[in-house]
């Protein structure tokens, strides 16, 4: 087994080689880094990555970066040396590219049988679409997830790239990596992890499919319990044009909602009668339109009505709850507490970088020739 690297977090000692890409793979490596893994990112010479500016936050926490031209024998050989000293390698190329470069799972695991070789794609490593280009919206479309999101009578609405790239992609990749590492403790051998956004998104549809099978979900947008169709589970516009999110599913929460709105349930339609939902939505919409968003938020604060303001990302960063938890896009997640009631510790500092073979090297960015660059832990200005 590869030797240990000192550091903080439950994954301290874990070495990860990341072949720089976009979207789900960088975010997965960020999560591994925030849990203590030492991640070395391998870049193309001169950068050359699509949407590089978008990835500044996702790229934080790397302990060393290399510039390697993997199309050259020298670059491929250096990558194989890095993989020989690693626990995990993460790549997001189209299927077959790594093999053509000579850095696929075969040669990597021949040098390091315990290596977990993690592959992140949209369509997966096989199947008719495996070699086809695509983005989050395409994977969601084919998974069935995109069809479910949107207003009644309107077109499907892409839920940013959160549901596909990051939930269906990154999270499933991390789960696969951790499962393979756990198995390696017993077998001593690594695994090939084939994570595909289309698979992950489809897996998360399990409850919706079960509801449909039970006759409790219709394959139409905006008419169901959890897609904005229910008057007590949707967003409403306020007097200032901003919005509130309402999630009063359970009866006590629904009663608290009516109390906050000043409505008498005896004079309202049965909320479980779907035919009455349009009329009930109109009543709620008229009530919420009487005040500004923050006035309603203050009114419902401290209640169990399940009413919250819909915040922008900038507003969310300044919300008292996030300030108290020191949470946000730049905060590690999940957190680990021992004992459970202890306050969250601040994010741990970087662990020392690793070098295949020697396991030691100065932290920072390096080319294949060793020329120093900007330290990986400092985001570009």
Catalytic residue numbers read 135, 165
Tally of CB atoms within 10 A around 164: 31
CA distances from 124 to 21, 83, 96, 162, 169 (A): 16, 22, 11, 19, 11
Rounded distance between C-alpha atoms, residue 67 and residue 215, angstroms: 55
Per-residue b/e over 326-337, b at no fewer than 16 CB within 10 Å?
ebeeeebeeeee
Buried b (16+ CB within 10 A) or exposed e, 240-260: eebbbebbbeeeebbebbbeb
Coil/strand/helix, residue 266: helix
CA atoms within 13 A on the CB side of 286: 7
Please tell me the distance from the alpha carbon of residue 146 to that of residue 161, in angstroms, as a whole number.
11
Q: What's the farthest any 2 CA atoms get from each other in the chain?
A: 77
Which tokens belong to 259? 């109390």
User: Which residue in 291, 240, 234 sits closest to 261, CA to CA?
Assistant: 291
């Amino acid at each position: 087994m590869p030797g240990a690297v000192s550091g903080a977090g439950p994954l301290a000692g874990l070495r990860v080689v990341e072949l720089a890409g976009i979207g789900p793979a960088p975010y997965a490596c960020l999560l591994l880094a925030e849990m203590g893994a030492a991640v070395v990112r391998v870049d193309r010479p001169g950068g050359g990555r699509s949407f590089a500016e978008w990835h500044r936050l996702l790229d934080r926490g790397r302990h060393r970066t290399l510039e390697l031209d993997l199309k050259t024998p020298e670059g491929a050989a250096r990558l194989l040396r890095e993989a020989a000293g690693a626990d995990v390698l993460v790549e997001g190329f189209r299927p077959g590219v790594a093999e053509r470069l000579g850095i696929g799972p075969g040669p990597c695991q021949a040098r390091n049988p315990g290596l977990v070789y993690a592959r992140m794609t949209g369509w997966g490593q096989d199947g008719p679409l495996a070699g086809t280009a695509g983005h989050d919206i395409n994977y969601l479309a084919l998974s069935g997830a995109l069809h479910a999101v949107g207003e009644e009578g309107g077109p499907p609405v892409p839920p940013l790239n959160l549901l596909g790239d990051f939930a269906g992609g990154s999270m499933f990749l991390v789960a696969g990596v951790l499962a393979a590492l756990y198995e390696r403790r017993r077998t001593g051998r690594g695994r090939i992890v084939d994570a595909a956004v289309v698979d992950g998104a489809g897996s998360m549809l399990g409850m919706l499919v079960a509801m449909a099978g039970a006759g409790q979900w219709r394959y139409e947008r905006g008419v169901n319990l959890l897609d904005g169709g229910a008057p007590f589970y949707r967003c409403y516009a306020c007097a200032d044009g901003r919005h509130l999110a309402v999630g009063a599913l359970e009866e006590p929460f629904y009663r608290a909602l009516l109390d906050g709105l000043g409505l008498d349930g005896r004079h309202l339609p049965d909320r479980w009668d779907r035919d009455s939902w349009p009329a009930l939505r109109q009543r709620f919409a008229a009530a919420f339109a009487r005040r500004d968003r923050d006035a309603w938020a203050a009114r419902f604060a401290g209640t169990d009505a399940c009413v919250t303001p819909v915040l922008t990302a900038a507003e969310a960063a300044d919300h008292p709850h996030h300030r108290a938890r020191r949470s946000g896009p730049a905060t590690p997640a999940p957190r680990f507490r021992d004992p459970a009631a202890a306050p969250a510790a601040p994010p741990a500092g970087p662990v020392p970088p690793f070098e295949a073979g020697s396991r030691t090297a100065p932290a920072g960015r390096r080319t294949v020739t060793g020329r120093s660059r900007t330290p990986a832990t400092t985001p570009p200005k």
